[in-house]
Amino acid sequence: MSQVRRQVLEFSAWVLLIVSVVGTAGIVARAQQRGGRVSPPQPQQQQGIEYFAGSWNMIWTGRESALTAGPRAGVATFTPQSDGHSLQMRAEGTIEGSGPFRESGTLEWNAERKVMTFREKVADGIEVTGAGDWSSPIGIRYESQPVQVKGETLRIRRMYSIISKTSFQVTEELSVNGGPFVRLGNGDFRRKE
């Protein structure tokens, strides 16, 4: 390769790099001028029971299972307990096309381990216990202990997505007899004013 050709290629590479950098800077500048964001900020809620304390309107879309009612709507209330690290939970509302539902339980927070332990009474008074890892401020990964219901071993897995200080979503999955987890439904929770 001739010296002139090599210099032309090197010059072309530098020009391409400069155009790329300048172009990217221009896009960012134009987005900022229009009030747009280049990268949306992630919610950074403080982990702890204080986040859940209070009442939340809830809408649940999904199918019925041995552990959960089908589509339903209502209110979930989390009441702080005197120990300072747990909440009493109560959910009440209406199952679509069926009638009322009630669920209850407790949530206990271990700040050192960043773990939320759930003890719940769900459909038909079945008790479910599990733990959620809340080491990330944007979500809790929960999995229940196995529960025996009508000769089957069931486990629930949930992802609590912390959207903002006034909103969170839950995705719930079910495993039957050690099989794969399959989607049960999604819940949308909005803090009551």
Could you report the per-residue pLDDT of 29-44, keeping only the tens digit for each? 555 666 656 666 655 7
Among 75, 189, 48, 46, smallest CA distance to 132 is for: 48
At residue 21, does pLDDT exceed 50? Answer: no
* Contact predicate 53/39, CB 8 Å: no
Q: Which fold has domain 49-191?
A: Lipocalin (2.40.128)
Query: Which residues, including other chains, have CB under 8 Å from residue 133's CB and lie 6 or more apart?
Result: 114, 115, 140, 141, 142
Q: Report in angstroms the alpha-carbon separations of 98 from 62, 71, 150, 185.
A: 14, 10, 22, 17
At residue 19, does pLDDT exceed 50? Answer: no
pLDDT at 15: 47
At residue 170, does pLDDT exceed 60? Answer: yes
What CA–CA distance (Å, rounded) separates 136 from 90? Answer: 25
Give the amino acid at 50: E
* Contact predicate 154/136, CB 8 Å: no
Could you report the per-residue pLDDT of 119-130, keeping only the tens digit for each? 999 878 899 999
> Domain spans of the chain?
1-40, 49-191
Q: Mapped to the 3 state alphabet, what secondary structure does the chain carry? A: CCHHHHHHHHHHHHHHHHHHHHHHHHHHHHHHHCCCCCCCCCCCCCCCHHHHCEEEEEEEEECCCCCCCCCEEEEEEEEECCCCCEEEEEEEEEECCCEEEEEEEEEEEECCCCEEEEEEECHHHCEEEEEEEEEECCEEEEEECCEEECCEEEEEEEEEEEEECCEEEEEEEEEECCCCCEEEEEEEEEECC
Could you report the per-residue pLDDT of 43-92, keeping only the tens digit for each? 578 899 999 999 999 999 999 998 888 899 999 999 999 999 999 999 99
Length in residues, the chain: 193
